[in-house]
A and B are shown apart, each in its own frame.
Chain A
């Protein structure tokens, strides 16, 4: 296994040298929860923290990928590099997914300054936001200036992903009546910029007015999210969006908010890591040394209750034994 360890280390070196295949392989490793993941991320982490992370969320078909494609033009003409993580839902029935966001981003398929990766949600609770965050770390260390995460804004996991972003764009469309009333609570609060896409369709002015009214009711805030209109199929309004994102970034930096937000994120990551390690350790011990079946049997027969059984289990677990494999 030592040889494999050396190889893995080489992967990080290659990443830092700008090798696209290494970036791709490392994202696969984090996505698959590969055994080597944590030791690799440890090596990657010191090289992260330089990218600006933008989240884009909105209903299926709202035009997110088309907008990302247009934003990429702006980013590239400013001489910046970009990484895209495009998340599509995994089918709950088969566990498979069709990842089609790249269809709209083909103009940038051969631009070596752009790296696009599609990910399926894969259905594990909290797992998606973790692997997305780790994929962002890979692209950050890879040297991408701007990292954009596209997700369908439907559930808690998407809201969690968005917590990873420095700036969050919430996209709405005039069609389908997804006006303010129908937007999920929780999605509204995370927006730093609102975009009404498909502004070529009727009703976009009304949607903008509704959102503006709602924002005005919220009272004074240090950052008042702008409400922009875009047509991502022809690029209308995309320059304004790029400017708004830069303005928001400037606001974050100058107000000290960026540091605050990133501290919150690190705190969350740290908590998550501790919880993860504890959980893993518990189930390792349970699997290796502790007889669970007996307990289950007893509890089922009401010879014991699950509450005291859980307490007893915990006492048997050795949290402080030397860690192998995880390389903590």
Chain B
């Protein structure tokens, strides 16, 4: 009945210096095709920009795409800033070329809710988000 019903809003962000956003764009399109609203902000975002955008856009999910290898500094930094802004409950995903050891550490220290690497099927990301974000808060 209600065509304006709640949609999952996802910020797909590319922090850091690397200049490739093909992966981020593929993910963005897949999430759109799964019925989500994807806010995409382009390359070279600072952690401050990512967090401020997440705040203004009131997203349910922040997904970082990091190919530069700087994930161990960028992800904890953004996670910390999200918490500072009372957005600690936003689902926080990190994608990119993340070695297994680093992934374990990020997850163990609560600096990512889930890690995705280039080999992961897009459905895995979609299903994960759908499973974790409760879009029927009202009912």
Contacts and interface: CB of A to CB of B under 8 A. Distances in A.
Partners in one complex: yes
Among A93, A95, A115, A131, max chain B CB count under 10 A is at A95
Interface in B16-72: 28-29, 31-42, 45, 48-49, 52-53, 55-58
Given A21-B86, A99-B39, A117-B56, A33 B32 contact: no
Nearest to B54: A24
B4 A32 contact: yes
Interface stretch (A56-64, A103-111, A179-187, A193-201): A103-111
Interface residues of B, number: 35
A120 B3 contact: no
Contacts of B55: 20-21, 24
Nearest to A99: B39
A235 interface: no
Contact of A102 (B4, B6, B33, B53): B53
Nearest to B40: A100
B124 interface: no
A81 B108 CA distance: 42
Interface string A240-265: 00000000000000000000000000
A149 B50 CA distance: 22
A218 interface: no
Given A96-B37, A102-B39, A110 B5 contact: no
Interface string B99-119: 000000000000000000000
A120 B41 CA distance: 15
A120 B36 CA distance: 10
A91 interface: yes
A33 B4 contact: yes
A117 B52 CA distance: 11
Contact of A106 (B34, B49, B138): B49
Interface string A13-29: 00000001101110110
Given A33-B2, A103-B40, A117-B57, 14 more contacts: A21-B58, A33-B4, A94-B32, A98-B28, A100-B39, A100-B40, A103-B41, A103-B42, A110-B49, A122-B3, A122-B7, A124-B3, A131-B4, A283-B1
Interface of B: 1-7, 9, 28-29, 31-42, 45, 48-49, 52-53, 55-58, 85-87, 138
